[in-house]
Structure 1
Amino acid sequence: MIEAVIFDMDGLLIDSEPFWRTAEKEVFGNLGIDVTEEEATVTSRMTTREVTEYWYRRKPWEKKTLEEVEDAVIQRVGELIDHGGVIMPGVIGLLQRFKQSGCKIGLATNSPDCLIPKVLRKLAIEHYFDVTISSDFVARGKPSPDIYIKAAFELATIPSNCIVFEDSKSGVRAAVAAGMSVVVVNRQVDFNEAGFEIADVKIRTLNDFGDDHIVLLNNNKTGFEIRPTD
């Protein structure tokens, strides 16, 4: 039965992915590394540590540790969130719907733990979440299922009783590998691309999540029901 709903963060709740690209271009650029758009796309689903290690392997730098460089990227992203973070369409309405239905609500992100409260405060949605999990606290970030398995444990439910909202192939893979139902939300991608076909529901924005999707997910999960709107 459905007991919990878990949300990704970057690109799903907040339009923060441009911030990561800006921060990485600035920080790594200061180290003599030209971060192209193509390479930024490759690293966009990595953890901050994985991105730092990726660039260090390609073009090692001196004088700064990996930790210092990683921290500089995170600090810059935090500044950009504070000054320009914008909530994605449909977030508030969907959180309210699930909260009113009695679902536990979690957040699971590859972003550093220190950015989670910053984002939730900026969007004024921290009170909706029962649990927040960062890849800082698991052995492997997405597409490994570790973070979703941990989220289910923290929410005191089993993975098969969870629905995940994700915006990327790596996130979808992680949630499916954890044994959860998945709704993929992305305004820009072609859902016919390999990697998205394993999601249970595909929508363009959270505003598009409606009663028909609730019926579909309830048919897949018997027991607790997410109530359609009146």
Structure 2
Amino acid sequence: MAGEGRGFRLRKDRREPMAKAVLFDCDGVLLDSEYQYLDSVSRYLRTLGREAGIEELAYLVGTDIRRITEQLKKDYHLEGYGTEELIRGQRALFYKEFYGEGKLSPMEGLVAFLDRLRAAGIRMAVASSSPQEYVDYVLGQLKIGEYFEFALGRENVQRAKPAPDLYLEAMRRLKILPHEAVVIEDSQNGVAAGLASGAYVIAYKGSVVRQDTSGAHRTVFSFQEIGVEELKKDL
């Protein structure tokens, strides 16, 4: 929802990146899973007598499912339902499709981009508001886990995006400063988290589900648009 990043200081400037590491979101960046999730939310709401299309629900993505569910309760007048009950209902539909469809596919151009980053000596990690088990499953199915030094799921920090905690924890583990990190995000909440962490933020628009990411330092529609040497030039 517009304004989800309020309460967190968004440190945006016009500087160029100085990348020692690139930090990736998971859903909508590594794979295009957000359409599936929002479709499952839409269908679940229908069972509760509520109508909402995928585009109407796009503002929800980029944070953890508990925060999403609390927002759904407010926006669709579901206060009579328990949060855990609503979470179980959403997950039942999403997991049935997501885990049942077989092999997952990475975003177009992602693997080639990871190869270029590795060849250039730029470190990589994943920081996602999704559960750790889910993130690990995705990396395994996409066969890209070897590229990343680690992957952080929601359980690793106190606050989910749009708070900067996940990215700050990733920087702490990598022993780098915020201005040495580049964050790649696709959601409004994720961009807000990256900016609040002090990183250089690239908004990636390769997902079917598009959001307002106008706060990012730069916007790209494919990984081919991101020049690795450009990321390193100010080191």
TM-score by length of 1: 0.80
1:79-104 deviation digits (Å, cap 9, x = unpaired):
33331633211110111122222222
CA distance in 2, matches of 1:49, 1:178: 22
Q: Secondary structure at the match of 2:132?
A: coil
Give matches, 1:156-167, under 5 Å. 156-167=175-186
Q: What amino acid does structure 2 have at the position aligned with 1:159? A: P
The correspondence for 1:79, drawn from 90, 93, 96, is: 96
Distance in 1 of aligned mates of 2:207 and 2:107: 14
Gaps of 5+ in 1: 223-230
Q: Which protein, 1 or 2, shows the higher relative CO under an 8 Å CA cutoff with sep ≥ 6?
A: 2
Letter in 2 for 1:218: K
Q: 1:113 to 1:102 in 2, by over 3 A?
A: same
SS of equivalent residue, structure 1 residue 95: helix
With over 3 angstroms needed to count, the CA separation of the structure-2 counterparts of 1:188 and 1:128, relative to structure 1, is: closer
Cα distance change of structure 1 residues 110 and 34 upon mapping to structure 2, 3 Å threshold: same
What is the alpha-carbon root mean square deviation over aligned residues? 2.6
Residues 97 and 22 of structure 1: CA distance in aligned 2, closer, same or farther (over 3 Å): same
**Dislocated runs of 4+, deviation >4 Å:** none
Deviations 1:115-147 (A, max 9, x none): 101211221111211111123332322222111
Deviations 1:22-77 (A, max 9, x none): 22123333333323345312323342111211223322344xx4224313423433
Q: 2 CA distance for matches of 1:114 and 1:72?
A: 19
Cross-structure match for 1:120: 139
What secondary structure sits across from 2:193 in the alignment? Answer: helix
Question: Aligned to 2:108, which of 89, 94, 98?
Answer: 89
Work out the CA distance in 1 between the residues paired with 2:88 and 2:131. 10
Identity of aligned residues (%): 27
Separation in 2 of the partners of 1:188 and 1:72?
25
Separation in 1, partners of 2:207, 2:24: 19
Counterpart AA for 1:5? V
Q: Deviations over 1:180-223 (max 9, x none)?
A: 1122211479x9x9752541x32111122235xx32x334x32x
Unaligned runs of 5+ in 2: 1-17
What is the CA–CA distance in structure 1 between the aligned matches of 2:46 and 2:80, rounded to whole Å?
Answer: 11
Q: Secondary structure at the match of 1:114?
A: helix
Question: Distance in 1 between the 2:174 and 2:96 partners?
Answer: 30
Question: Residues 13 and 198 from structure 1, CA distance in 2 versus in 1: closer, same or farther, beyond 3 angstroms?
Answer: closer
In the alignment, which residue of structure 2 is the partner of 1:43? 60
Letter in 2 for 1:50: R
Q: Distance in 1 between matches of 2:212 and 2:95?
A: 33
Q: TM-score when scaled to structure 2?
A: 0.78
Say whether 1:146 aligns with 2:133.
no
**Conserved 8 A contact 2:202-2:216:** no
d(CA) in 2 for partners of 1:72 and 1:154? 35
